[in-house]
């Protein structure tokens, strides 16, 4: 099963830091997400796309996890050479995780 079957996601950017939310469609799936979508798995999955640290914040009341990835956006949207300078497409990458 893919993460996409259990959760949805949105990416935000502030400077060179990206945040990716992972939000359970159903509250009862949250515990499974919390166990499976770890910092290590996200780091491994996104690999070279992440240049800095990965921090995870858990929001059980919202059934959501929030991943904060530093030094991930080529210096930030104002100077990045990337086609997706905001890193907005990262949410779709994380939903491809196998659960």
Please identify, using beta-carbon distances, which residue of 35 and 78 lies nearer to other proteins.
78
**Distance, CA of 69 to CA of 20 (rounded, Å):** 8
E strand map for the chain: 7-8, 11-14, 17-24, 54-59, 64-69
**Distance, CA of 66 to CA of 19 (rounded, Å):** 7
Taking the complex as a whole, the smallest distance from the CB of residue 90 to other proteins amounts, in Å, to 8
Please identify, using beta-carbon distances, which residue of 23 and 36 lies nearer to other proteins.
23
Closest-CA residue to 59 (of 31, 17, 91, 89): 31
Our finding on whether 49 is near other proteins (CB under 8 A) is: yes
Which one of 1, 14, 40, 53 is in contact with other proteins (CB under 8 A)? 14
Taking the complex as a whole, the smallest distance from the CB of residue 63 to other proteins amounts, in Å, to 8
**Distance, CA of 69 to CA of 54 (rounded, Å):** 5
Contacts to other proteins by CB under 8 A: 4, 8-10, 12-17, 19, 21, 23, 25, 45-49, 55, 57, 59, 61-64, 66, 68, 75-79, 81-84, 89-90, 93, 96
């Amino acid at each position: 099963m893919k993460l996409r079957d259990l959760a949805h996601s949105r990416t935000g950017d502030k400077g060179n830091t990206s945040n990716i939310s992972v939000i359970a469609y159903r509250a009862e799936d949250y515990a499974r997400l919390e166990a499976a979508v770890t910092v290590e798995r996200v780091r491994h999955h996104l690999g070279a796309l992440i240049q800095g640290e990965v921090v995870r914040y858990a929001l059980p009341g919202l059934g959501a996890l929030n991943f904060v990835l530093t030094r991930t956006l080529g210096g930030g949207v104002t100077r990045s050479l990337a086609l997706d300078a905001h890193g907005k497409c990262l949410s779709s990458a994380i939903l491809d995780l196998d659960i």
